[in-house]
Chain A
Amino acid sequence: MSATAVHSLWTTAGEVTSAAPGDRFTAPTIEYAQLAPVLIVVGVAVLGVLVEAFVPRRHRYTTQVFLTVVALAASFAAVIGLAADGYATKSAHIAAMGAIAVDGPALFLQGTILLVSMVSVFTFAERRLDPASHGNRVDSFAAQAGSVPGSDGEKAAVKAGFTTTEVFPLVLFSVAGMLVFPAANDLLTLFVALEVFSLPLYLLCAVARRKRLMSQESAVKYFLLGSFSSAFLLFGIALLYGYAGTVSYAGIAAVVDGGVQDIDPALADTMGNDALLLIGGALVLMGLLFKVGAVPFHMWTPDVYQGAPTPVTGFMAAATKVAAFGALLRLLYVVLPGLTWDLRPVMWGVAIVTMVGGAVVAITQTDIKRLLAYSSIAHAGFILAGVIAASPEGISSVLFYLGVYSFVTVGAFAVVTLVRDAGGEATHLSKWAGLGRRSPLTAAVFAVFLLSFAGIPLTSGFSGKFAVFKAAADGGAAGLVVVGVISSAIAAFFYIRVIVLMFFSEPKADGPTVAVPSPLTMTTIAVGVAVTLVLGLAPQYFLDLASQAGVFVR
């Protein structure tokens, strides 16, 4: 009854072309070439699992590193190839029966994720930092993830020189999920991608070689809270399906716009019910904001960042953020543009508490990894300011910021892996005192990253911050810009505090040493510094790239 009354508003005004699903079985058409970036990564990940099963233990590390790097490089090449064929601009379209969008933002973010993962994998493969145990070179990961910490089994595994080479296929699975996440064009694909990239991350968090209990604790926390957020997301999807009768982005958007006339009889009572739309949209947003690490869904961030093995933290902090913001952008710009004005107050609120909360709480931190975690929360707030701009400029500024931020983050965490004492990485801030005198180069590099986080001009952080603030101001969110500027000032305080500590404090006698890394980690750090400086001095090319990529396909 009521449903018909509602639906009389959308009488037939033209035939919707899509064939009704379920009429008869049709073989899906899959554009394999356009999905190549994802397929390559998944394929090699599966291959990596086989390697674990069949390749002798002593060859696994080399094989896995080689395979992983090749997979990421090939996948990146595929992304470039698609972009060169114009899929980012004029021939952007939807592939795989409406499941995956191949468009500018998707390709830009996939490229970013792949490059960042590549440099992260270098830190995964680093084997010169930890002192050799029983004559074997070891990396940051537990000898045998299954052994109980402190048990005889663990000792035996360490003595035998086992290493957890499974991390490489796990990273690849995670990357595959991340590649799909910002490109997902229906809610179910979104959910599957979310799980595909989250589950390996939960595992990766748990396999630290040192401080294993802390690492496992962080994994449990991450898993539990992550499951909650997945549940919220899934519930939101169900409600949105009830509202729109479809999970495809374009379909939901069409219902929101009021351009749909044929109603699924099974859903006649709920379709078009705005309460479902608002609650469902909010729940889906919640799930994404959790992954982004926005206040008040940020509680997991500091614990997980601190407990996870540092290479994993770097990878997670950078790549997850890129993927999750990509999905958030697509959701807000493609599915819910009709709700821009309804969601605006909420998003404003979230952005403001995220910026201010992250910056203020970071001041009191005493652990470098927790500090970077809160800093990442504050940065999520800055990016949200650009997301809220709701303009093409907003999209491209967010894309640019994500690129900038992820490289700085991976670089910064790579530096954290270098500063060590007898207990492994020395992450307590007091131990960093006087680092600038002992190892001027390391401290200077870290200072560059911190200055970039703080948004000091001539670093990439400034270009990014300026881009999102400008987009936000253009989009009528001047208030957010003012809050952003104030929280930047607060944030500057704690970044500066670390610099003060490194350069102006006297080194302690029992202070940590800076390990000399292999070329792998050096590459990671060098890439981070290079990106920071190049995008600070001459960002034009990448801004162009981001603005060309700034159009979603629907």
Chain B
Amino acid sequence: MSFPLLTATAALPAIGAVVTAAVPAGRRTAAKWTALFFSLGTLVLAGLVFARFEPGGDRYQLTESHAWIKDFGVRYDLGVDGIGVALLGLTALLMPFILLAGWHDADPSPDSRPESGGGDTGGARPYRWRPTQGFFALILMVEAMVILSFEATDVFLFYILFEAMLIPMYFLIGGFGDRAHAGTDDNAAAQRSYAAVKFLLYNLAGGLIMLAAVIGLYVVAGSFSLAEIAEARANGSLEMAGSTEKWLFLGFFFAFAVKAPLWPLHTWLPNAMGEATAPVAVLITAIVDKVGTFAMLRYCLQLFPDASKWATPVIVVLALVSIIYGALLAVGQRDIKRLIAYASISHFGFIVLGIFAMTSQGQSGATLYMVNHGISTAALMLVAGFLITRRGSRLIADYGGVQKVAPVLAGTFLIGGLATLSLPGLAPFVSEFLVLVGAFSAYPAAGIIATVGIVLAALYVLVLYQRTMTGPVKESVRAMPDLRVRELAVVVPLIALLLFLGVFPKPVADVVNPAVQHTMQDVQKKDPQPEVEAAK
């Protein structure tokens, strides 16, 4: 038996989470280094996956298969296609930066140290509240579940992870809020727990609807194996009545649309991203939400090709609404983190548009977009987080002239912003261009409308930069220190990656393209031929 590489990529952060949680209360720094060490180890394993994956080979590679719950027909089946590899790589790559950026986020603040020994009867057990260990352990837990969900090729296994990852996320949002809040501590705690509950309930409701569809799928297909169902559908041995397929598709799509998030199911995201610390916000939008769009590609299109085509017009419209609506609301935000959240909603609109354009450019573009959006949002959000920590406020109006005081911070913020608005030369440009080309060739009107989103993106990013970084230096930011070594270690590699993938996207594109071809075959769509050729 060969080494179970895919299991290892998920098991390592899971073990890391347990080890980190077990670090004694006093050894806070040790816990942080442990977590970072495990996340780097995972990155190495992800690199191995990338190296051993052959883009031209089988659809699912490095597969593993074990019986798990026979009675439910559930198997522990893993395998990656190009899309999975790309997103697995993204997750493993961003994680060390997220941990580094959140290095001090969970330190107990000196004024709110609770009294020790007060909790238990008779002081038999001293009070042990270990937020730091918990914070880092939870992040690693999320990493393990997300990675495994990219690797699962069993619908049930995927569903379990899809739901289970909500719990650690929930504690991360609700338990470790942003200290830079508006208003009193009580108020902040209430808002934070509101955001966490909203996040959980939206996603749980989506997930439970999906559970009904998962059960329905099993009743119809008699199996949870992605490969088996897809094969049965392809060779015609599994006939699904049209209405059944549509209902099941809707059940799955609803859950993914909540996660992605697609308008009008998006409202939890600004709350969650606003109240969470910047690294956790990155974890939400750059990594966890990608599971939603990834699942649309892998599950909706592959399991329900006809229903996907049936629903395409509506979904394209929803995606367009997300693009424009998200961008417009981003323009109007006064809170930096909520602005980035609405920008993300706009970007998720692009991703969904690319997926459901049903062209190979569109889907390749969408997959690349997932990767690039992850990196660019991480860069922008983490720098924004550094900025917010310095001043202790999330409001744009509290900043001004930062570029004179902290030029490196301002510069990196600008590059992150420019990546967000898809400036040519930075990675997101390639993917956004592909999505637009793909959308245009299938639905010209949609392509044109989506382009407006780019213009609005320029507006919200540049206005944000102008208001916070340029102009006269505000009194409150005068003493603001520039980026420290730890912060530079977070930002510089991310920016280097943005530049590298902007001029040379081939390594990722090569991995993604064959997988997209497979998906296109599933939905039996061919790219529309250019007019000239058709006229010949």
| Chain A residues near B (Cβ < 8 Å) | 437-440, 451, 456-458, 462-463, 466-467, 469-470, 473-474, 478, 481-482, 485-486, 488-489, 492-493, 496-497, 500, 503-507, 513-516, 538-540, 543-544, 547
Q: Which secondary structure dominates where chain A touches chain B? A: helix
Residues of B within 8 A of A463 (CB): 69
Q: A438-B118, A540-B69, A544-B71 are in contact. Are A500 and B215 (CB under 8 A)?
A: no
Q: Using an 8 Å CB-CB cutoff, how does the interface string of B108-131 with A read, 1 for contact, 0 for none?
A: 000000100011111011011110
In the complex, A57 Cα to B267 Cα: how many Å?
65
In the complex, A163 Cα to B197 Cα: how many Å?
45
In the complex, A507 Cα to B112 Cα: how many Å?
12
A500 contacts B174, CB within 8 Å?
A: yes
Q: Which secondary structure dominates where chain B touches chain A? A: helix
A496 contacts B128, CB within 8 Å?
A: no
A546 → chain B closest CB, angstroms: 8
Residues of B within 8 A of A500 (CB): 174, 193, 196-197
B175 → chain A closest CB, angstroms: 6
Q: A473-B216, A482-B212, A500-B174 are in contact. Are A458 and B160 (CB under 8 A)?
A: yes
Tell me which of A462, A482, A516 contacts B125 (CB under 8 A). Answer: A516
A457 contacts B71, CB within 8 Å?
A: no
Residues of A within 8 A of B175 (CB): 503-504
B219 contacts A474, CB within 8 Å?
A: yes
Residues of A within 8 A of B200 (CB): 492, 496
| Chain B residues near A (Cβ < 8 Å) | 67-72, 114, 118-122, 124-125, 127-130, 159-161, 163-164, 166-167, 170-171, 174-175, 186, 189, 192-193, 196-197, 200-201, 204-205, 208-209, 211-212, 215-216, 218-219
A505 contacts B189, CB within 8 Å?
A: yes
B71 contacts A540, CB within 8 Å?
A: yes
B47 → chain A closest CB, angstroms: 28
B70 contacts A515, CB within 8 Å?
A: no
In the complex, A237 Cα to B239 Cα: how many Å?
48
A-B contact pairs, 27 of them (CB 8 A): A438-B127, A439-B119, A456-B167, A458-B164, A462-B160, A469-B212, A470-B72, A473-B215, A474-B219, A481-B215, A485-B208, A488-B208, A489-B201, A492-B204, A496-B204, A500-B197, A504-B174, A504-B175, A504-B189, A504-B192, A507-B114, A513-B121, A516-B125, A540-B67, A540-B70, A543-B72, A547-B71
In the complex, A502 Cα to B205 Cα: how many Å?
22
> Which 5 residue pairs across A and B have the least CB separation, nearest first?
A438-B119, A457-B160, A543-B71, A504-B193, A485-B212
Tell me which of B67, B118, B192, B216 contacts A478 (CB under 8 A). Answer: B216
A489 contacts B204, CB within 8 Å?
A: yes
In the complex, A463 Cα to B175 Cα: how many Å?
28
Tell me which of A451, A507, A543 contacts B167 (CB under 8 A). Answer: A451
In the complex, A467 Cα to B119 Cα: how many Å?
40
Residues of B within 8 A of A439 (CB): 119-120
Q: Name the residue of chain A whose CB is nearest to the CB of B71.
A: A543
In the complex, A451 Cα to B159 Cα: how many Å?
16
In the complex, A489 Cα to B254 Cα: how many Å?
14
Tell me which of B119, B192, B209 contacts A514 (CB under 8 A). Answer: B119
In the complex, A465 Cα to B200 Cα: how many Å?
19
Tell me which of B69, B118, B122 contacts A539 (CB under 8 A). Answer: B69
Q: A457-B159, A516-B124, A544-B71 are in contact. Are A489 and B205 (CB under 8 A)?
A: yes
Q: A437-B114, A456-B163, A500-B174 are in contact. Are A473 and B124 (CB under 8 A)?
A: no
- A456-B166, A507-B114, A514-B120 provided; 10 other pairs, C-beta below 8 A? A439-B119, A439-B120, A485-B208, A489-B204, A489-B205, A504-B196, A506-B189, A540-B67, A543-B70, A544-B71
Q: Name the residue of chain B whose CB is nearest to the CB of A547.
A: B71
Q: A473-B219, A485-B211 are in contact. Are A514 and B121 (CB under 8 A)?
A: yes
Residues of B within 8 A of A466 (CB): 72, 211, 215
Q: Name the residue of chain A whose CB is nearest to the CB of B162.
A: A457
Tell me which of B68, B122, B196 contacts A540 (CB under 8 A). Answer: B68
In the complex, A107 Cα to B400 Cα: how many Å?
75
In the complex, A486 Cα to B121 Cα: how many Å?
41
Most central of A457, A503, A507 by chain B CB within 10 Å: A457
A394 → chain B closest CB, angstroms: 13
In the complex, A440 Cα to B175 Cα: how many Å?
13
B114 → chain A closest CB, angstroms: 6
Q: Name the residue of chain B whose CB is nearest to the CB of A469.
A: B215
Residues of A within 8 A of B219 (CB): 470, 473-474, 478
Tell me which of B69, B197, B212 contacts A481 (CB under 8 A). Answer: B212
B72 contacts A467, CB within 8 Å?
A: yes
B350 → chain A closest CB, angstroms: 30
Q: A437-B129, A500-B174 are in contact. Are A513 and B71 (CB under 8 A)?
A: no
Q: Name the residue of chain B whose CB is nearest to the CB of A397.
A: B71
In the complex, A474 Cα to B164 Cα: how many Å?
25
In the complex, A405 Cα to B423 Cα: how many Å?
56
